Amino acid sequence: MINLDQALDSARQLSLSDKEMLIEILKKQAIEERRKEITTEVRESKTLYASGKLTPSDSKQIIDELHSSLSEPEDD
C-alpha cells in the first residue's frame, strides 16, 4: 500500500491540469464515501429505533444535553 508521502511525491510530478483532475476525483470519492457512511448510520439508527433502543427526543432536550456535555470537563 502506498503511504501519504509517496502519494504526494507522485502528485507533485503531475502537470497542473492532471493535479486539478486528481483533486476533483478525490473530492468526488470523498463525497461518495461520506454518503455511504451516512447511509450506514441511518440504517443503524432505524434498526435501533425499531427495536426500541433509540427513542425520539425533542429539540430542546437535545440542545440541553449538548450544552451540558460541552460544559463538562474532559477526562484525560
In contact, 32 and 38? CB cutoff 8 Å: no
pLDDT at 76: 58
Average pLDDT over residues 10-21: 98
In contact, 21 and 11? CB cutoff 8 Å: no
Asked whether the whole model's pTM tops 0.75, one would answer no
Segment 1-11, tens digit of pLDDT: 999 999 999 99
pLDDT at 75: 64
Q: Extract the C-alpha cell encoding 55.
A: 427513542
In contact, 26 and 34? CB cutoff 8 Å: no
Segment 25-75, tens digit of pLDDT: 999 999 999 999 999 999 999 999 999 998 888 999 999 999 999 887 776
